[in-house]
Amino acid sequence: MPPSTPPILPSILGVTHHQFVAACAERGIGSGRAMAAYRAFYLEGDASGVPEGFEGWIPPIVRRLEEEVSEGTTIKFCQRLDRQTGTPLSNRAADGVALGVLNNDGRVRHLDIESVIIPMIGRTGRKTHTLCVSSQVGCAMGCGFCETAQMGLIRSLTPAEIAAQWWAARWIEGVEIDNIVFMGMGEPLDNTDAVLQAIGCLTDHHGPRVAMSCVTISTVGRVDGLRRLSEQIQTPGWKRLGIALSVNAPNDSVRDRLMPVNRRWDMGELQSVMQRIVEVRGARKILFEYVLIPGVNDSMDHAGQLADWMAPFGKRDGKAPVGLLNVIPYNPRRDSPWPAPDENDVAAFVARMNELGVYTKRRRTKGRTAMAACGQLGTAEIRGRRFIGSPGTEPAGAKNGSDD
């Protein structure tokens, strides 16, 4: 169970079975009835037994796109948050914004979140499905290659709203979900408490039953959040939580331009905190993500610099490397300043990284034409609007030595 959790809300969504039983007990509802309702809701999609006042509200799916790939069908679905659920997670302006019309701006009619179901076939031939979930409406990190970043941060999602994405995928779309990746809209470590609480629910063995080893948090590199994760994964049941770091650049100069978060926490600080995570996680692999952008970070010189930065995560004392580099061909966002890379250039970069001793794979592109691929999620009517800032980012050129 996460060490720090939001107040238990009168909802079956986003809480562990322990929390739900305790909340029911406060209202005189026995543990047997509470457990039966919890299991039926998550394991059968049956909400009929949920006690009055504890019903979970599933935001409706208002848009749905499909794209056929070799492994099956990639599905992007959009849920509409036009009903306030629960209480704000904090006193930040983002979490207190009313839903519906935002700040009396008539162009913003709805707050929508997007999730993607990705089919995969592994080496054994077994077909699985990965759910890419969102943790925020929009994002404050400002990465130039990302569609969500063009929205700005509107507000963070509650644990219930995060868990509702799994429920919709499982019981509305009817897809068995094997893996969950926090790689959708938003920066998970800009909403850490809610994300950890949601993971506690999603991995509950009486609930969704997703294995902790099948859940991955992907971050742009918020060092304060990564330090928090290094503590969290030392608690019972959390050591196998997957962690993915979006590096996306071979040096600070390139990363400063692509990812404003690097102006606060540079690549040296990032390397140090990731080494600490390796220490507490043992041999479990860490995923390093690298969006390959033509003319920006794809040269052979860039490959050499990146290999040097990743050296601490390579082979050590004859042991297998703990760092896996996942090269992601850039998926153009709307009005993108860059095209998608040429496949030959992608193959050459991957080959060079492997030659330099970095265990490197190329991520298959899925969902690009449906704007469902990596970096393409976002609500068009909100994009480009910068409503609020985030405690984790600073204005261009700023550098703050404090992590608080």
Pairing assessment for the beta strands 215-219 and 242-246 based on DSSP bridges: parallel
Active site residue 374: yes
Task: Compute the distance between CA of residue 248 and CA of residue 293 in angstroms, rounded to an integer.
Answer: 9
Pairing assessment for the beta strands 61-69 and 215-219 based on DSSP bridges: unpaired
Please identify which of the residues 24, 132, 146, 374 carries the catalytic annotation: 374
Residues labelled as active-site residues: 374
